[in-house]
Structures are given as structure tokens and as C-alpha cells.
Amino acid sequence: MTEQNKHLASIFHDLASMYRFLGGENPFRAIAYQKASQSIQALPKDIAYYITEDSLKEIPGIGTSLEKDIREFGEKGEIRRFERLKKRVPYGLMELMDIRGFGPQSLKSLHKKLHAESKEEVITALQDGSVSGLKGFGPKKVENMLRSLKLHKIIEDRMLLW
């Protein structure tokens, strides 16, 4: 996968997480961005090739709206929608969305009640017991969240040897 494809796929993955966090507005956007992220990761050629050849809609999961985002990324190297959403959601928490036990509702609650803005702040709150007074964060849930974080760290630290 090319660096440009990797970067665009990462942006789309983050957009999917942000839309899941925001919830009610449009749940289908989260699904669309996640599918587009996966499709871009699987592309055999650089995304610039598909822009130049005007064949973006041939990529699975790419419709009119996502095509505009990809073209904007190709022209400017960024996507305005992504930059706007980063200001609306606690972007530092988005990396937790992929970890089991850290769904949108849990993260919203931690952000709203404890003003957590980053992964480190959430970990600290879980470890020092700050979350114990929050509704839905019993001892078992906290234990499971810490276990999931530890497991995620182990998997993240592993390096594939091909």
C-alpha cells in the first residue's frame, strides 16, 4: 500500500470513528467511511492514479460524497470535513474506539463527566478510580476495559516478521 493510500485510509477510518462517536446524526456515514477505508487499503495502485483516470466510483464503497472527499485530498492533501469534525469531537479519544469495551457511549460519558480528551487521561481515570462514581462503570466493566487496553498494547507492540 502506498503512503498516500495509507494516509487517506487512516483519515477515512478516523472519520468513521468520529461519526460513530457523534451517533444519531447519520449512522450510515460511519459505515460508508469504514468501507471506503478498507477499499482504499486494498487498492493495487496509488489513489492519485484513480483520480487521474476518473475511475474513483469503480472503487467499492465510493459514491459521490466520498469521491469529492478523495478529490479534495488529492488536490489539497487534506479533507475539510475531517478538520471540522476534529474540532467537534475529542479526537484524542478516537483511537480507543477500536478497542473492545470502549464504544461511543462509554467514551462520550468519560468525555462529558470527566472531561477526558486523550487515551492517557482515560487510562489514568480507570486506574485511579475516578470512573467509579459514573453510571455504567462498575468494577467489572472497569476491569474489562483495563484488560482490553493491556491486550491491545500487547498486539500493538508485536512486529510481524515476514
DSSP symbols for 22-53: H-TT-HHHHHHHHHHHHHHHT-SS-HHHHHHT
Q: What is the pLDDT of residues 33-91, one digit of tens each?
A: 999 999 999 999 999 999 999 999 999 999 999 999 999 999 999 999 999 999 999 99
Question: Grid coordinates in use for 82?
Answer: 475531517
DSSP reduced 3-state for 122:
helix
- pLDDT-derived band at 27 (thresholds 50, 70, 90) equals confident
Q: Quick check: 157 pLDDT over 80?
A: no
Average pLDDT, the chain: 92
How confident is the model over 136-161, as a mean pLDDT? Answer: 83
Are 116 and 122 within 8 A, CB to CB? yes
pLDDT band at 110 (very low <50, low <70, confident <90, very high): very high
Query: Span 9-29, mean pLDDT?
Result: 91
Q: Does residue 143 register a pLDDT over 80?
A: yes
| Cβ atoms of residues 127 and 146 within 8 Å | yes
